[in-house]
A = this chain, B = another copy of it.
């Protein structure tokens, strides 16, 4: 399948009927709503780095959409459109590309994210990238800045499943993946709480997504907001898989620094507790209060993980580095 075939046969049918101009032009055209800011983010996935070289097409598409949508969720943004960069690797034949395009449509649709356009090239290694666009009412974007002391710290979903899912993916071959666990699903198809996030703009003082690991990302939030945090280890939301991992001698270190969670962490005033509980229920999101922010005057802007004995956990590798 050549470049133009690929665009005409696979991508034009899944592109946005209005903005994409049938993928027949040099650019897409989008009319932004009045009195809104545009939120822009981009995330790339490299074969053999961000997904296994033999990953099924659905996993590549789901992770591509999930990781990118996670950044829009972190800003409280409503998705409006995206463009795809597809670098086709030597092993991606026609049937693989067909499966990829179909899965891409499924996952974009599930988040209401239209495909505006893109670029297809080929190279020795497969790489996929999205640039995603969202909108927020002007001036209302959530940022990492804004937490004060004495605020509640929250996390959505569960923590550590991205790490455990990656372990599963690395350990299993394709046939064995029939027995999928929730951890595998969390890695293979992250589903950031996008709807929930759009209502969060009115309630949270700061927000970001957990992509590099809870420990590193809470530190980022602390640094940006100029606060410290006490996080209660016993309160961290874990899946059955993560519970079992700890029970079998696995370390907190792994769950807190493994990355790939694509959940949200944010702060909010204690007065918002009831509203947040209702919102989480309405959006079918698991929401957990895991600690409190505090003034950083007496120490560094970082999160301390406190065990039930009141001891602070030492975490060595605080988060994933791409290189």
Whether B85 pairs with A42 at a CB distance below 8 angstroms is yes
- A83-B131, A129-B119, A323-B122 known; A138-B37 Cβ under 8 A: no
* Stoichiometry, copies per complex: 2
Task: Assess the A74–B27 pair: CB atoms within 8 A.
Answer: yes
Contact in complex: B38, A32 (CB < 8 Å): yes
- Whether the Cβ atoms of B30 and A37 lie closer than 8 Å is yes
B27, B74, B77: the one within 8 Å of A75 (CB): B27
Contact B321 A117 (CB under 8 A): no
Of the candidate stretches A45-53, A252-260, A292-300, the one touching chain B is A45-53
> Cβ of A28 < 8 Å from any Cβ of B?
yes
Segment among A18-26, A170-178, A281-289 that sits at the interface with chain B = A18-26
Identify A3's interface contact among B28, B134, B209, B323, CB under 8 A: B323
Cβ of A48 to closest chain B Cβ, rounded Å: 7
The answer to whether A49 and B123 have CB atoms under 8 Å apart is yes
Do A21 and B143 touch across chains, with their CB atoms under 8 A apart? yes
**B25/A144 in contact, CB under 8 A:** yes
Taking a contact as CB atoms under 8 Å apart, the answer to whether A37 and B26 are in contact is no
Given A3-B323, A123-B127, A224-B25 in contact, is the A40-B30 Cβ separation under 8 Å?
Answer: yes
A117/B25 contact (C-beta < 8 A), A2-B321, A32-B32 known: no
- The reply to whether B27 and A41 contact each other, CB–CB distance below 8 Å, is yes
Interface assignment of A261: CB less than 8 Å from any CB of chain B:
no
A322 CB contacts on chain B under 8 angstroms:
3, 120-122
Q: How many residues of A contact B (CB 8 A)?
A: 65
Assess whether A118 is interfacial by the CB under 8 Å rule.
yes
Closest chain B residue, CB of each to CB of A40: B28
A141 near B29: Cβ-Cβ < 8 Å: yes
**Which chain B positions have C-beta within 8 A of A77?**
27
Query: Is A110 part of the contact surface with B, judged by Cβ < 8 Å?
Result: no
Judge whether A99 is part of the interface by a CB distance below 8 angstroms: no
- Asked if A72 is at the interface (CB within 8 A of a chain B CB), the reply is yes
A3: shortest Cβ distance to chain B, in Å? 4
Chain B positions within 8 Å of A134 at CB level: 27
Q: How far is B21's CA from A112's CA once the two chains are assembled, in angstroms?
A: 26
Seed contacts A26-B75, A29-B141, A127-B127; 5 additional CB < 8 Å A-B pairs: A27-B74, A43-B119, A46-B87, A124-B125, A129-B129
Interface residues of A (CB under 8 A from B): 2-4, 21, 24-32, 34, 36-50, 71-72, 74-75, 77, 81, 83-85, 87-88, 116-125, 127, 129, 131, 133-134, 138, 141, 143-144, 208-209, 224, 321-323
In the complex, 23 of the A-B residue pairs with CB atoms within 8 angstroms, ordered by the A residue number, are A2-B323, A25-B143, A26-B75, A26-B209, A28-B41, A29-B37, A31-B38, A32-B32, A32-B38, A34-B34, A40-B116, A42-B117, A44-B129, A45-B121, A46-B87, A46-B121, A46-B123, A48-B124, A49-B122, A87-B127, A123-B125, A124-B125, A129-B129
